[in-house]
Amino acid sequence: MKRTLTYLLASLCVLGAEAWERKGVTFSGSIQSDMLVPRRDSGTGAEKTGSFLTNTYADLLIQSQYIDAGARLEFLSYPLPGFEKDFEGWGVPHFWMKGNIGKAELTVGTFYEQFGSGFILRTYEERALGIDNALLGGRVVVKPVKGVTLKALSGVQRRYWEWNEALISGADAEIGFDEFFPALQKNGTDITLGGSWVNKYEKSDEKVYLSPTYRLRLPKFVNAWDVRASFGRGPWNVMGEYAQKSDDPSFANGYIYRKGSAAMLSGSYSGKGLSVLLQAKRSENMSFKSTSDVSKAIGISSAINHLPAFTQDQTYALAAIYPYATQLADGEWAYQAEVGYNFKRKTPLGGRYGMNVKANLSYVRAIDRQFYDGDDLVQQTNGYTSKFFKWGDDTYYRSIDITLSRKLSKAFKLNLMYVNQRYNQSVVEGHGGIVHTNIFIADGKYQFSPKVTLRGELQYLRTKEDQGDWAYGLLELSLVPHWMITVSDMWNCGETKLHYYQGLVTYNVGQHRIQAGYGRTRAGLNCSGGVCRMVPAYTGWTLSYNFNF
């Protein structure tokens, strides 16, 4: 990995020198550095895991008419708490060059890509979770005629500071019919069809034994394909997608030889103050990793695909204590319904400034699985039979969220939220049982003057299970344009009686943002889009620096 730094700098210098001579070359980039000076905290059990920890990234992008190039330096030798040992390191894991020639675009180096909703391929970066599953190889994107996009790619996937051995190849085609039929465009109708294919080739040395006498023969190739269609007219939109994956016995699925599949149907309406979203998804056996090495495949690294969670990504602290993680290997039926309505200003319900009401219902349930051997998955078999529309016994997650946003005066805005959750801790975290919560949130913002705003949050989580009740309070003073001061406390008033207090001062100037603070962070799941990482408790001084140029 370190060698790539030299290669990269050399190629960037050459490119940069040439580029300077040309007109229209732009340089841009960013720096993000999150730092922690941890302290031992006997109250929370936080350990002093080092004297100074940091996750630091520096991106550089050079753009010109025909060629773009970029690189990222990452310094993660002493990372923030909660990441695997293999996450540690530093170097330039990203380096790429993209050429735009006529209707084609060619990328060489590392790149991110997503086919459709990501059911069979999604490579992306999510720094908070330590996810970066970029591919290293080549990609070509061709737009032969307007409305048609063809993609082909091949490469190996990043796992922290190494590249997994499996070769990932794929192709995707998408056709927008409204480009071909002017009549469709005329009446505002969009019809899009797409299809993708992904192949994993892994000549694995991994020996997996069913017993001390028999070893499993593992497939060298795993194929996945996906078809999708969307139809939109005016405020209405309907989208459907189906994906299938060939036999892929893995540690995650208990080494069964069974096809995986994912199906999704989504419909929405958005117009005249009303928005409605209805979604349903069924998936089974869709864990798709770029390594069969168990010690590397455990956790959230090496994922080739991504299945979105049909649950709310919660931003309020207490609503985020029990987040849901998509069950890729076991499968799930997931449903989501969301209705939003904007009551107009100067109406009886809207009042003087208007009001927005939003309700969201998420429900995730096990799929039907009839194991060949009673209650157990048996390796080397097809695992189980499953009726497509039938549910399994367990509810994995259920959430009802109701949000009300209203401006009460020219200076004061209030958000109220109620969340009711049923969280299957055994399924998501591997321990505990069912946790039922009722969460009440009030978030008010008062603008004293154009430059001074005070925001406050009060939250309460009521539950008889796990660690019992929680309370949370926050005050945030914004002094435009430079300063923001935040103090908060999350108090477990149920079982542990612990306070997780935090104080932060943020300073913005130009393209720089600096944030310094001190506080405690609780142990728990940190999730985004249904992918979660368990983070241990930590206490200490924090400093963050962001710079964009």
Partner 1 sequence: MLKQYTYYILAFACLLLAGCDRIAEDERLIYEPIVMEDDQDDIPEEGKPEQTKRVVLLEDFTGQRCTNCPKATDVIEQLQEVCGSALVAVGIHGGPLAFAGNARTVGLKIDIGDEYYTHWNLEYQPVGLVNRHAPLSYSEWIDAVKEELAKPAPLRLKGTAVLEGNVIAISIDAQGTNGTVDGKLQVWLLEDGIKALQLMPDNKPADQEYIHNHVLRTAVNGTWGEDFSIKEGETVQRTMALDLEPKWNREQLSIVAFVYNDQGVQQAAKTKVEIIE
Alpha carbons within 13 angstroms on the beta-carbon side of residue 517 total 21
Q: How far is the CB of 348 from partner 1 (least distance, A)?
A: 50
Place of tokens 């010690």: 295
* Strand 370-371 to 355-367 pairing: unpaired
Tokens of 474: 């926050």
Q: How far is the CB of 197 from partner 1 (least distance, A)?
A: 6
Q: How far is the CB of 204 from partner 1 (least distance, A)?
A: 12
Q: How far is the CB of 431 from partner 1 (least distance, A)?
A: 5
Minimal CA–CA distance to 70: which of 33, 131, 125, 149?
125
Tokens of 120: 């069979």
Select 301 or 403, whichever has its Cβ closest to partner 1: 301
Select 96 or 384, whichever has its Cβ closest to partner 1: 384
Select 266 or 283, whichever has its Cβ closest to partner 1: 283
Q: How far is the CB of 414 from partner 1 (least distance, A)?
A: 41
Q: Kindly report the number of other CB atoms within 10 A of residue 65's CB atom.
A: 10
Sign of the four-CA dihedral 107, 110, 114, 120: positive
Q: How far is the CB of 192 from partner 1 (least distance, A)?
A: 19
Select 48 or 482, whichever has its Cβ closest to partner 1: 48
CA distance 484 to 453: 9
Q: How far is the CB of 473 from partner 1 (least distance, A)?
A: 30
CA distances, 379 to each of 35, 162, 295, 547 (Å): 45, 30, 19, 51
Partners of residue 421 on adjacent β-strands: 399, 437
Sorted by sequence, the CB contacts under 8 Å of residue 446 that are 6+ apart come out as 411, 412, 453, 454, 455
Cis, peptide link before residue 182, omega less than 30° from 0: no
Select 254 or 308, whichever has its Cβ closest to partner 1: 254
Q: How far is the CB of 200 from partner 1 (least distance, A)?
A: 9
Select 171 or 402, whichever has its Cβ closest to partner 1: 171
Helix, strand or coil, per DSSP, at residue 322: coil
Minimal CA–CA distance to 398: which of 332, 472, 468?
332
Select 70 or 176, whichever has its Cβ closest to partner 1: 176
Select 266 or 292, whichever has its Cβ closest to partner 1: 292
Select 20 or 221, whichever has its Cβ closest to partner 1: 221
Place of tokens 């996009």: 149
Tokens of 422: 């049923």
Q: Mark 140-157 as b/e (b = at least 16 C-beta within 10 Å).
A: bbbeeeeeeebbebbbbb
Minimal CA–CA distance to 309: which of 262, 271, 349?
262
Q: What are phi and psi of 394, to 5 degrees?
A: -90, 135
Q: How far is the CB of 296 from partner 1 (least distance, A)?
A: 10
Select 226 or 457, whichever has its Cβ closest to partner 1: 226
Q: How far is the CB of 206 from partner 1 (least distance, A)?
A: 8
Q: Which residues bind partner 1 (CB under 8 A)?
A: 84-85, 169, 171, 197, 199, 201, 206-217, 219-223, 246-247, 251, 255, 257, 294-295, 298-299, 375-377, 380-382, 394, 426-427, 430-431
Q: Which amino acid is at 68?
A: D
Cis, peptide link before residue 481, omega less than 30° from 0: yes
Select 284 or 457, whichever has its Cβ closest to partner 1: 284
